[in-house]
A and B are shown apart, each in its own frame.
Chain A
Amino acid sequence: MSGGSTPYASRQGQLKQESSIFERGGHGRVGYSLPALDVPAVDAVDAWGAELVRQQVAGFPEVSEVDVVRHFTRISQHNYGIDLGLHPLGSCTMKYNPKLHEQVARFRGFTAAHPYMPEAASQGALELMWRLERILSEITGLPYLSMQPAAGAQGELTGIMMIAAYHNKRGERRQKVLIPDSAHGTNPATASLCGFEPVEIPSTERGTIDLDALRRAMDDDTAALMLTNPNTLGLFEEHIDEIADIVHAAGGLMYCDGANLNAILGKTRPGDFGADVFHINMHKTFTTPHGGGGPGCGPVALSEKLEPFRPRPVVVKEEDGSYRFDDDRPDSMGKIHGFYGNFAMMVRGYAYIRAHGARGLRQIADDAVLAANYIKERLKAEYELPHDRHCMHEVVLSDRRQKEHGVSAMDICKRLMDYGFHPPTVYFPLVVSGALMIEPTETVSLQEIDGFVEAMLAIAREARDDAELVKGAPHTTYHRRLDETLAARHPILRWEPRSDEVSEPEST
């Protein structure tokens, strides 16, 4: 079968601008239903005093249910989503979100479960959490889990806080955390939040961490190394065993960022290659839906050394087979979430893993890595490839050749929208100039991959032959090149009743 897929039929031409909900509606419309009051009414003014009672909430609309449904349905049509097509976003692992998960997560026993319900009446939820911890322990090779962090960044914070607690307990006030120059921005932000000084470690020309630089930097004032493996270039740290030794020999701990777990499922385990703590993005590898930016779920797997410092409470299975929470944890780092974490996302992740089993998970890694390498081979003729060797589940290209014609990575992104694809990640990692980070995941078909590849090749040709076409993209989306400068110079962050003036764009 020849390559090339049919782009999905864009409905963009049929869309209209949908005004704000606050400009809809009218006096007397009702969008809700409450039963008639069956107890005596209470006047808040009598109960609280007039000075503590408000006027009506000015600005809240008066709309019918129909108004609400039409409004949100219309604006939803301006979104691209996984169900429509490929999102080759490096490090985001945008894979298909099974609909089964939406069904099982909505069982009443889960949605109506209260975190303070007596444990004897919460055995189902506790069992699910416990089982998921056992599963993630097996996958990561680390004995303990905390499911409490609400997202990857919070998981990272938890990991570094536990490391700080570990050193403090030993009476050592270590000040520094080592971070590779290819790291995600959360890494130094997290280190600072925990009172550490982030120290940058350069990468070699091979794209992996410079071992000599690491050796020089690692000392007994260093609390930890924060490592992503495979790294943000999609390359596995080949000297991972040595890296772990260098860190541990100086009494430090290795925090491993699990954003790229999709590449190594069943192939290697962080616990086996020396990680002391490994964070997991459930919304990446385990496909809990992105929802336009959340909710996530960011559990951390950890070694024996860090066990006492886990967030509290922890899930415990008793000898009689029952489950409970243990809140009597004197060395715990405390709480990072008001309750136990994002349980409804745990349900989804659990269902996904149980659907796969060991062989299914390994197949994910195989297909994800194969797909990324295939894209690399087909695109490297036109796009500069900083590291020409086997990559893992993602490949990083550069816009350098296109820049010779004045076309940037951002222009390529916008032009890809005309071809019906969500763009890849761009300008990250910072170690590659004009980076395009592409991760297809294992869920995409060869037709769709070929369609993406052909679009990218076409854009490379356009960059040579008709650069203005690319620089002026997107041409077919409803909105085009929204003015981020204007938004930052004169922020409008909430709706206000206003005049009919529309601002002139300040820059292109």
Chain B
Amino acid sequence: MGEYPDTYKYSAEHEWISVDDGVGTVGITHHAQDELGDVVFVELPESGTPLARDVVFGTIESVKAVSDLYAPVAGEIVEVNEALIDAPEVVNDDPHGAGWMIRIKLDDPSSVDSLMSSADYRKHIEA
């Protein structure tokens, strides 16, 4: 339904991941950007960085707050969304699409299975 694509998986820290052919695109959810307010800066690592699951891979800032970004799965970063450097507001405008942050080559394709479905995530944020 609408806001939270069914094809994505979601983490408890409000990240989403969309996997295609072993590569997962990761961003933050609509709920997360709404709580954060106007995004002013996103700090992302370099391509090639290996990530363990649940590790902090970057930060996202609004005027008054800083939040950590957590890796929903383990893998190696193969692409970083450079457009966010000059246009961090894209995260607010289109968090599930153009606001993507990193692409990870998954170490283990089944690691997304333990993440939440869109229905579960909607329950999670209503709790």
Enumerate chain A interface residues (CB-CB to B < 8 A): 427, 484-485, 488-489, 506-507
Point out the residues of chain B lying under 8 angstroms from A506, CB to CB: 38, 89
Point out the residues of chain A lying under 8 angstroms from B41, CB to CB: 488-489
A190: min CB distance to chain B, Å? 18
Point out the residues of chain A lying under 8 angstroms from B63, CB to CB: 484-485, 488
Q: Give Cα A506 to B38, complex, Å.
A: 10
Q: Give Cα A421 to B34, complex, Å.
A: 32
A-B contact pairs, 18 of them (CB 8 A): A427-B64, A484-B63, A485-B38, A485-B40, A485-B62, A485-B63, A488-B40, A488-B41, A488-B61, A488-B63, A489-B38, A489-B40, A489-B41, A489-B88, A489-B89, A506-B38, A506-B89, A507-B38
Point out the residues of chain B lying under 8 angstroms from A507, CB to CB: 38
Q: Give Cα A507 to B64, complex, Å.
A: 15
Q: Give Cα A488 to B89, complex, Å.
A: 11
Q: Give Cα A488 to B61, complex, Å.
A: 9
Enumerate chain B interface residues (CB-CB to A < 8 A): 38, 40-41, 61-64, 88-89
A198: min CB distance to chain B, Å? 16
Q: Give Cα A148 to B50, complex, Å.
A: 46
Q: Give Cα A88 to B91, complex, Å.
A: 38
Point out the residues of chain B lying under 8 angstroms from A488, CB to CB: 40-41, 61, 63
Interface of A is mostly: helix
Kindly list the 7 A-B residue pairs having the minimum CB-CB distance in the complex, ordered from nearest.
A488-B40, A485-B38, A484-B63, A489-B40, A488-B63, A507-B38, A485-B63
Q: Give Cα A507 to B88, complex, Å.
A: 13
Q: A488-B41, A489-B89, A507-B38 are in contact. List 7 more A-B contacts (CB 8 A).
A: A485-B40, A488-B40, A488-B61, A488-B63, A489-B40, A489-B41, A489-B88
Q: Give Cα A427 to B88, complex, Å.
A: 25
Residue of A nearest to B63 (CB): A484
Residue of B nearest to A507 (CB): B38
Q: Give Cα A427 to B63, complex, Å.
A: 14
B98: min CB distance to chain A, Å? 16
Q: Give Cα A427 to B40, complex, Å.
A: 20
Q: Give Cα A253 to B59, complex, Å.
A: 34
Point out the residues of chain A lying under 8 angstroms from B38, CB to CB: 485, 489, 506-507
B53: min CB distance to chain A, Å? 23
Q: Give Cα A507 to B38, complex, Å.
A: 8
Q: Give Cα A507 to B36, complex, Å.
A: 14
Point out the residues of chain B lying under 8 angstroms from A427, CB to CB: 64
A506: min CB distance to chain B, Å? 7
B99: min CB distance to chain A, Å? 14
Residue of B nearest to A410 (CB): B64
A240: min CB distance to chain B, Å? 33
Residue of A nearest to B87 (CB): A489
Q: Give Cα A489 to B92, complex, Å.
A: 13
Point out the residues of chain B lying under 8 angstroms from A489, CB to CB: 38, 40-41, 88-89
B26: min CB distance to chain A, Å? 22
Q: Give Cα A79 to B63, complex, Å.
A: 23
Q: Give Cα A506 to B89, complex, Å.
A: 9
Point out the residues of chain A lying under 8 angstroms from B61, CB to CB: 488
Residue of A nearest to B41 (CB): A488
B68: min CB distance to chain A, Å? 15
Q: Give Cα A506 to B63, complex, Å.
A: 13
Point out the residues of chain A lying under 8 angstroms from B64, CB to CB: 427
Q: Give Cα A484 to B40, complex, Å.
A: 9
Point out the residues of chain A lying under 8 angstroms from B88, CB to CB: 489
Point out the residues of chain A lying under 8 angstroms from B40, CB to CB: 485, 488-489
Residue of A nearest to B88 (CB): A489
Q: Give Cα A97 to B63, complex, Å.
A: 32
Q: Give Cα A506 to B87, complex, Å.
A: 12
Q: Give Cα A485 to B62, complex, Å.
A: 8
B87: min CB distance to chain A, Å? 8
B43: min CB distance to chain A, Å? 13
Q: Give Cα A485 to B41, complex, Å.
A: 10
Q: Give Cα A485 to B65, complex, Å.
A: 12
A481: min CB distance to chain B, Å? 12
A486: min CB distance to chain B, Å? 9
A504: min CB distance to chain B, Å? 13
Q: Give Cα A506 to B90, complex, Å.
A: 12
Q: Give Cα A427 to B61, complex, Å.
A: 18
Q: Give Cα A123 to B42, complex, Å.
A: 55
Among the interface residues B40, B41, B64, B89, which one has the most CB atoms of the partner chain A within 10 A? Answer: B40
Residue of B nearest to A506 (CB): B89
Among the interface residues B38, B41, B64, which one has the most CB atoms of the partner chain A within 10 A? Answer: B38
B77: min CB distance to chain A, Å? 24
B30: min CB distance to chain A, Å? 17
Point out the residues of chain A lying under 8 angstroms from B62, CB to CB: 485
Point out the residues of chain B lying under 8 angstroms from A484, CB to CB: 63
Among the interface residues A427, A484, A489, A506, which one has the most CB atoms of the partner chain B within 10 A? Answer: A489
Point out the residues of chain B lying under 8 angstroms from A485, CB to CB: 38, 40, 62-63
B41: min CB distance to chain A, Å? 7
Residue of B nearest to A489 (CB): B40
Q: Give Cα A484 to B38, complex, Å.
A: 10
A188: min CB distance to chain B, Å? 13
Q: Give Cα A499 to B98, complex, Å.
A: 31
B123: min CB distance to chain A, Å? 24
B89: min CB distance to chain A, Å? 7
Q: Give Cα A488 to B63, complex, Å.
A: 7
Point out the residues of chain A lying under 8 angstroms from B89, CB to CB: 489, 506
